[in-house]
Amino acid sequence: MPLRIGQEVQAVLRGTGVIPKGFSFSAINAGIKSREYKGLDLGLIACSTDAVLSGVFTRNLVKAAPVIIGMEQVKKGSARAVLANAGNANACTGQMGIADARSMMEAVARELKVRSEEVVPMSTGTIGVSMPTERIIPEIPRLVKGLCADPGCFARAIMTTDTVPKMAARRVGEACVLGFAKGAGMIAPNMATTLAVVLTDALVDKQELDNIIKTSISSTFNAITIDGDMSTNDTLVALASGLVEADPLELRYAVNSVIEELALMIVKDGEGATKFVTVKVSGTSNDRDARIVAMAVANSLLVKTALFGADPNWGRIVAAVGYSGIPVEPRDIAVKIQGLDVVEGGVQSRSFTESSLHEALKGSKITIEIVAGPGQGRFTVWTTDLSYKYVEINAQYRT
């Protein structure tokens, strides 16, 4: 699905736009994906100050080596660099994976003249394969030497099955917020990013940055799903160089806006996706219950395949509401799709026609609105359809 990048982000990609003070960027090919791959696969962000560090990570109990390390770094709360690679997840690699990640951190630290624990590692790619450090570490000096003001190279270096680099930016007075993300598949809470980095030059303390990030992801990265699979590597880190004064409320809004835009970019670039789907649920006892219902619908393979084929089989949606685990009274359920009344009082609407819904489902943007009862709870989830291409991409991921 083609992704339109806003004018502000295009300016960033040209190296003339919204770039937070104190940060520089570099990316190279280090032969991580394979010796034959010639694209960028190793990216670096360096900060001239001791940046305040915050982050959130996958809740999968099987965590990649960089996630294990990153979780400890976030507790300490400061960093000077982010080192990210594509093509190898460094997950399910045992103690050797931890050692490999640390050796890469140490190599970067030597070149930047910082402490190794100040270099945050991030990895994405194939699970269960040893990191080719023998090819990576000799290239670190070249990576550091290439640091510059253009962030676009970093965005491209973390791509795997992504079809476009994902960046978003906002201004906060004289301060800036810049975000990167990668992800197109294996996207499900908590938290669904695969990899993301948010940078700001605003002056903000650790507690406030933690609060901003955790609040923002609840309705953004934790409200998207493509295939229901939670990665071993999902990571979002935020760094603040603290070089510019900014209004706290405006900063919170800007960070949330950047994170939401990145999350929606991930859905729009979903593997094999032909439709961008919004699922809105209301009428539950609370927002948590609405989220559970919305996720049940959004993750239903039967709903996803019906959307791909523009099949007006609304029963799959109602069935997902019923098995979500949230108590619902069938006669309270109402469903609208693309503004068409489909279900009223738990049964097919009198105005419903298959032909009308079939035509409505042919569009590339679909909105499903579900009322599950008389309550005040509400939540919105973004997802995709499930196409032949998704199966093809994931059937051939390693072959």
Q: Which amino acid is at 128?
A: G
Residue 385 is predicted with a pLDDT of 87
What is the β-pairing status of strands 42-57 and 235-244?
A: antiparallel
> What is the CA angle 21-248-261, rounded to 5?
70
Of 172, 178, 254, 240, the C-alpha closest to 19 is: 178
Among 226, 243, 268, give the residue marking a domain's end.
Answer: 268
| Structural domain contains residue 254 | yes
**Does some domain include residue 376?**
yes
Burial class (CB in 10 A: 0-12, 13-18, 19+), 327: exposed
Q: Are residues 112 and 217 in the same domain?
A: yes
Token pair for residue 62? 């099987």
Q: Are residues 263 and 280 in the same domain?
A: no
Catalytic site residue 225? no
Return d(Cα 307, Cα 286) in angstroms, integer: 28
Is 258 contained in some domain?
A: yes
Domain with residue 82: its CATH number is 3.60.70.12
Last residue of a domain, one of 226, 250, 268: 268
- Contact partners, residue 388, CB within 8 Å, separation at least 6: 272
What are the C-alpha distances in Å from 212 to residues 126, 176, 192, 265? 31, 15, 17, 20
154 and 264 inside one domain: yes
Tokens of 394: 């994931």
Q: What is the pLDDT of residue 187?
A: 44
Q: How crowded is the C-beta side of 82, counted as CA atoms within 13 Å?
A: 34
> Nearest to residue 189, comparing CAs of 238, 245, 149, 229?
229
Which residue in 188, 149, 184, 182 sits closest to 168, CA to CA? 182
Quote the pLDDT of residue 396.
65
Domain at 304, CATH number: 3.10.20.340
Q: Give the total number of structural domains in the chain.
A: 2
Question: What does the pLDDT read at residue 381?
Answer: 93
pLDDT in single tens digits along all 399 residues of the chain: 333 344 444 444 444 358 999 999 999 999 998 888 889 999 999 999 999 999 999 888 889 999 999 999 999 999 999 999 999 999 999 999 999 999 999 999 999 999 999 999 999 988 999 999 999 999 999 999 999 999 999 999 999 878 889 999 999 999 999 999 997 544 454 544 479 999 999 999 999 999 999 999 888 888 887 655 567 888 999 999 999 999 999 999 999 999 999 988 888 877 667 889 999 999 999 999 999 999 999 999 999 999 999 999 999 999 999 999 999 999 999 999 999 999 999 999 999 999 999 999 999 999 999 999 999 999 999 998 887 777 766 676 555
Does residue 145 share a domain with residue 63?
yes
Contacts of 335 (CB under 8 A, 6+ apart): 314, 317, 318, 342, 343, 368, 369, 370, 371
Mark whether 285 and 245 lie in a shared domain: no
Query: Is residue 264 located within the same domain as residue 319?
Result: no
- Residue 98 within any structural domain of the chain: yes
* Residue 54 covered by a domain: yes
Asked if residue 148 and residue 240 are part of one domain, the reply reads yes
Residue ranges making up the domain that contains 48 = 7-268
Is the same domain home to 199 and 331?
no
Predicted confidence at residue 189, as pLDDT, reads 47
The answer to whether residues 245 and 286 belong to one domain is no
- Look at residue 183 and tell me if it is in a domain: yes
Q: Which of 58, 161, 193, 194 is catalytic?
A: 193
Do residue 81 and residue 167 come from a single domain?
Answer: yes
104 and 148 assigned to the same domain: yes
Is the CB of residue 67 less than 8 Å from the CB of residue 57?
yes
In a domain, 2, yes or no: no
Residues 6+ apart with CB under 8 A from 15: 148, 149, 150, 151, 152
Q: What is the DSSP string of 111-168?
A: HHTS-GGGEEEEEEEETT----HHHHGGGHHHHHHT-BS-THHHHHHT-SS-SS-EEE
pTM: 0.83
**In this structure, are 77 and 133 located in the same domain?**
yes
Tokens in use for 334? 């109402």
The pair of three-digit structure tokens given for residue 27, joined into one six-digit string: 């990316």
Chosen domain end from 268, 290, 318: 268
The pair phi, psi for residue 224, each rounded to 5°, is -125, 150
Q: Which residue has the tokens 């009344």?
A: 341
The CA radius of gyration of the chain, in Å to the nearest whole number, is: 22
- Which two tokens mark 60? 């999968």
314 in a structural domain: yes
